[in-house]
Amino acid sequence: MSGLLGLIFPVYHTNTRDHSSSRLQPPSLHTLSPVTEPLAGASTRVFIYSLKPFSHSMVGLSVGEKHFIQGGIAQDLRTDGRKRLTYRPIFVETGVIAQANGSARVKMGKTEVIASVKAELGRPSSSAPDKGKVSIFVDCSPTAAPQFEGRGGEELSKELSAALRQCLLGGKSGAGAGINLSSLSIVDGKVCWDLYIDGLVVSMDGNVLDALGAAIKAALSDTGIPKVNIASAATPDEQPEVDVSDEEFLQFDTTAVPVIVTLTKVGRHYIVDATSEEESQMSSAVSVSVNRQGLICGLTKRGGAGLDSSVILDMISVAKHVSEQLMNKLDSEIAAAEAMEEDS
């Protein structure tokens, strides 16, 4: 389990997170054919990755309840009174973990997640000497669902980590990354910042990927990167000496960090912010990460049903429209949370 889970639930912390590069390979990803039509607003060539459906609490519904959920979605009136493209109330709290450089708690309805950011000095990779590195890991609290006790949440943790890396970092290549890796460089080829982003699923009632994406964006907004001074010049073969300030911090720029919008297909219609009961009726879901400029940073699909390219393009268009609503709401909640943190 990760350091974040150990901080929140020390009794379950059994070993130290291995941040080695071998842990960064997205598990169980199956590359589909690249979209042949250009995606409007895409910041890079977009590939769609297929993920297994995210496991969630066993939802036992009668035939009548299933018809009620499906019929309500068809009529644009969901069981909790929302329309198809309306989110549940969103709550954001920042600065929830003192040991981290930045952290945040996000609640979407009954789904609750926490994200933390830890910055450490590292060495750039030889393939990207002018960039820093970002690692993303997710853990599922044993209290989030009964089947997560013991090792039950590991599979979902891997699936969520892979989806977040695809949506926020643009996959293994990092092309089109929603997080500006160049801003993490200190001395090209020699010193950079490594960001370790840990997410924790505290409770789950659907739409956990979007909630984690929102929590990471809020945690990055809360992140202060220590100011670094190059203590002495070094020859090309020497590692420079650096002085890391304990008092001066630079605010991490989250301007280009995207939000994740998941469109869940139930019957012939798409919905956002699906509950666990609604997710149990889905045929497929597409998650699109969109930044403030309307550029697509990443895209994943889950569910067994195939989708025609025209359907995917339509879902992307809807996701871009909905992302403005989510971005504005999230920015407002983050600003309010940071103001409250400063006053406390």
Per-residue pLDDT 10s for the chain (344 aa) are 445 544 443 332 333 344 333 333 333 333 333 333 344 455 443 444 445 555 444 567 889 999 999 999 999 999 999 999 999 999 999 999 999 999 999 999 999 999 999 999 999 998 889 999 999 999 988 777 776 766 667 888 888 999 999 888 875 555 557 788 888 998 888 899 999 999 999 998 999 999 999 999 999 999 999 988 887 666 666 777 888 888 888 888 888 899 999 999 999 999 999 999 999 999 989 999 999 888 888 888 887 767 788 888 999 999 999 999 999 999 999 999 988 877 77
Return the CATH fold of 3-343: Ribosomal Protein S5; domain 2 (3.30.230)
DSSP 21: G
- Side-chain-side CA neighbours of residue 280 (13 Å): 16
**What are all long-range contacts of 181-185, with beta carbons under 8 Å and residues at least 24 apart?**
181/128, 181/131, 181/132, 181/133, 181/134, 182/130, 182/131, 182/132, 183/132, 183/252, 183/253, 184/131, 184/132, 184/133, 184/134, 185/124, 185/130, 185/131, 185/132
Query: In what helix (H) or strand (E) does residue 216 lie, and over which residues does it extend?
Result: helix 208-221
Identify whether the C-beta of residue 169 lies closer than 8 Å to the C-beta of residue 179: yes
Give the pTM. Answer: 0.82
